[in-house]
Amino acid sequence: MKNLLGPVGQLGYVVEDLEKAAWLWVEKMGVGPWTVIPHVTLDYFNYLGESSDVEMGIAMAFTGSMQIELIQQHNRAPSMYRDFINECGEGIQHVCFYPRDYDAALESLIRKGMNVRQDGAIRGMRFAYLEETDGNVLEIGDIPEKVRLRRQDDIASAACWDGSDPVRVFE
C-alpha cells in the first residue's frame, strides 16, 4: 500500500477560525509562513454520495516536508468537517496522501474496505476522504506534476523562512 499511496503528505485540522488557528501555530510551534485562503471555490463537493454546497476556507504551511492544512467550514452544509467539529471540536481530522495514480489508489482503498465519505475537486484537483470502520480518516489528493514541483519549492521556502509575514491572507 505504501508504494501505491506514497508518504503522508499532509495533516488536516478542522478549526473554527483559520487566521486565529494559523497564528497559534506560529506562536506556539513556530510553523509558518501560512497561506490563508478564506473562501475556496470548489468545482464540486459530495458528502455520502450526495451533492453538498459546502462553503469553506483553508490555510496551509509546511513543517519540514509535512504540510499542515487548516480547514474552516463557513456554513451548515453536510460534510465530514461539520460532523467533526460538532462531535470533537477543533483538531486533527485526517492524514492525506498524494498518490501518483489517484484512480488506482482510490480503487485499492475501496477494495480494502474503506468507504468514501466525501469527495470533490478544487481547480481540477480531485480529493476523496475515506473512512475505516474504526473511524480513522484518510484523504487522497490527485495533484498534477506541476503542483508536486511547486510543493517542493514551498517546502524549500519554508525551510528558509525568516519569521517575517507569518500569516498571509489571500482573498
Asked if residues 140 and 130 have their Cβ atoms less than 8 Å apart, the reply is: yes
Q: Which set of grid coordinates corresponds to residue 63?
A: 513543517
Question: What is the per-residue pLDDT across 15-66, written as a single tens digit (0 to 9) for each?
Answer: 999 999 999 999 999 999 999 999 999 999 999 999 999 999 999 999 999 9
Question: What is the per-residue pLDDT across 94-141, written as a single tens digit (0 to 9) for each?
Answer: 999 999 999 999 999 999 999 999 999 999 999 999 998 788 999 999
In a domain, 26, yes or no: yes
Asked if residues 139 and 43 have their Cβ atoms less than 8 Å apart, the reply is: no
In a domain, 171, yes or no: no
- At residue 156 the predicted structure's pLDDT band, cuts being 50, 70 and 90, is confident
Q: What share of the chain is helix, strand, coil (3-state, %, to 5)?
A: 30, 40, 30
In a domain, 170, yes or no: no
Residue-range definition of the domain harbouring residue 128: 2-87+96-159
pLDDT over threshold 80, residue 1 = no
Asked if residues 84 and 14 have their Cβ atoms less than 8 Å apart, the reply is: yes
In a domain, 122, yes or no: yes
In a domain, 111, yes or no: yes
pLDDT value of position 127: 98
* Burial class (CB within 10 angstroms; exposed 0-12, middle 13-18, buried 19+) of 59: buried
- At residue 2 the predicted structure's pLDDT band, cuts being 50, 70 and 90, is low
In a domain, 74, yes or no: yes
In a domain, 150, yes or no: yes
- Among residues 125, 129, 104, which one has the least CA distance to residue 117? 129
pLDDT value of position 133: 77
- Among residues 42, 34, 6, 13, which one has the least CA distance to residue 127? 42
pLDDT value of position 97: 97
The number of distinct structural domains making up the chain is: 1
pTM: 0.95
pLDDT value of position 153: 87
In a domain, 164, yes or no: no
pLDDT value of position 125: 96
Q: Could you tell me the CATH number of the domain that includes residue 53?
A: 3.10.180.10
